[in-house]
Amino acid sequence: MKKNIALLLITAMLAGTLTACGSKQEAPAASESETTVPEAQETPADKDEEESTEEPIVIRIGHAQNEEGDWQKGLEVFKEQVETLSEGEMKVEIYANEVLGAEVDNITAIQQGTCEGVLSGDTMSNWTPYAALVAMPYAVNSLDDLITIASSEEVGGVIEQQIVENVKLHPIGFFIRSARNLTTNKKVESMDDLKGMKVRVPNNNLHLAMWNAFGASATPLAWSETFSALQNGTVDAQENPYANIISANIPEVQKYLIKTEHVYSWIYVLIGEEFWQSLTEEQQEIINTAAEEMEKFQWDYLKDMVAEQEATLQDQIEFVEVDKAPFIEVAKRVLEEQLEPEIYDLYLKMIDMNK
């Protein structure tokens, strides 16, 4: 009997011990569950979600044409490519009609870090004389020659390097421009007819010197102010490619288009050099790829549009042919006087590169 009681007691104790061990085995499981909860919150999906909330890199680009111009259309291709290739990590905002300020103001804003991009050409000669080469009088004979020269390392590459170093802007591409022609309210058939005429020109020394040498009174003025200045008589004439003449509705305030065809030029699409250096190599590659597509589009678009633009203008304004020989001789003399020797050498190289 005593043995049976003792056996029962031992059995009960063993059962209690087993029950207690079972409880202890469950405790670590509960504890492990508690410690792994915070780790479960740091999942890749959560990290992706955090990254997706970051603000995109914004590239604001200003230019002087209106929303229907070829610059705007080219920039729209750039915008689409950048935003697609970057999967939304970069965003391009385009501001036409000098909304971000006149060209010089826009450049200054980029240098100060309050803007990212601008379209500019020979206006940059205010910072570097090499920029004047993008609009050399009678140096280029056709749009195809212009593309060859601007794309070359011998000329275009030198100009771009000088812009980076002296203007602190980074060229990502360039747009071609049809020949510049003079518009007036007075019929001009020879250089003598320009005497005393106030001609709006871009704000650079070469244009000022050349038009003054032609006998006109060269007047630098922001493009956004030109229409009203022509309208109220502050200036008498202006000179620009067909695209700008159309986009600014110049035939509404001018009677004649004088076919001087004095400059075939190009204009750079630029972003701040400091901004460019802040981008990763991958982001820079995206911009370069997008810029190539932008260039191809604008070049083809402009070539197709030149004949159409001329036909459009012929219905709106009277065309006047003029003997270019006297203009060419004066322009060469001005260039030799105005350009530094190394820049004049590049000008001569441009002439040699024409087909």
DSSP secondary structure of 253-300: T--EEEEEEEEEEEEEEEEEHHHHHHS-HHHHHHHHHHHHHHHHHHHH
More confident residue, 147 or 19: 147
Cα dist. 31→18, 21, 25, 26, 163 in Å? 21, 16, 11, 9, 66
Instruction: Over range 54-59, report the average pLDDT.
Output: 94
Q: CA–CA separation, 346 vs 52, rounded Å?
A: 49
Query: How many separate domains does the chain show?
Result: 1
pLDDT at 65 over 80: yes
- Which pair of structure tokens corresponds to residue 350? 């441009």
End-to-end CA distance of the chain: 126
pLDDT for 202 equals: 84
Residue 4, in any domain of the structure = no
Tens digit of pLDDT for each residue in 190-248?
Answer: 999 999 999 999 887 888 999 999 999 999 998 889 999 999 999 999 999 898 899 89
Give the three-state DSSP class for 125.
Answer: helix
Residue 30, in any domain of the structure = no
pLDDT band at 355 (very low <50, low <70, confident <90, very high): low
Residue 60, in any domain of the structure = yes
pLDDT for 14 equals: 39
Instruction: Over range 98-105, report the average pLDDT.
Output: 92
Residue 64, in any domain of the structure = yes
Range of the domain at 227: 54-353
pLDDT band at 252 (very low <50, low <70, confident <90, very high): very high
pLDDT for 27 equals: 38
pLDDT for 100 equals: 92
Residue 125, in any domain of the structure = yes
pLDDT at 7 over 50: no
β-strands 256-272, 90-95 pairing: unpaired
Identify the DSSP state of 324.
Answer: -
Residue 133, in any domain of the structure = yes
pLDDT for 20 equals: 36
More confident residue, 338 or 47: 338
CATH code where residue 255 lies: 3.40.190.170
In sequence order, what are the beta bridge partners of 181?
240
pLDDT for 354 equals: 83
pLDDT band at 182 (very low <50, low <70, confident <90, very high): very high
Tens digit of pLDDT for each residue in 121-140?
Answer: 988 988 999 999 999 999 99
Among the listed ranges 33-42, 67-76, 226-235, 307-316, which one has the minimum average pLDDT value?
33-42
Residue 15, in any domain of the structure = no
pLDDT for 247 equals: 85
Q: Mean of the per-residue pLDDT values for the chain? A: 87
pLDDT band at 261 (very low <50, low <70, confident <90, very high): very high
Instruction: Over range 319-344, report the average pLDDT.
Output: 93
pLDDT for 25 equals: 36
pLDDT for 53 equals: 62
Cα dihedral 94, 98, 100, 104 in deg (nearest 10): 120
β-strands 169-184, 256-272 pairing: antiparallel
Instruction: Over range 241-270, report the average pLDDT.
Output: 94
pLDDT at 34 over 90: no
Q: CA–CA separation, 236 vs 197, rounded Å?
A: 6
pLDDT for 5 equals: 40
pLDDT at 96 over 70: yes
pLDDT for 31 equals: 37
Residue 39, in any domain of the structure = no
- Which pair of structure tokens corresponds to residue 12? 């009960």
Q: What's the one-letter identity of residue 163? A: I
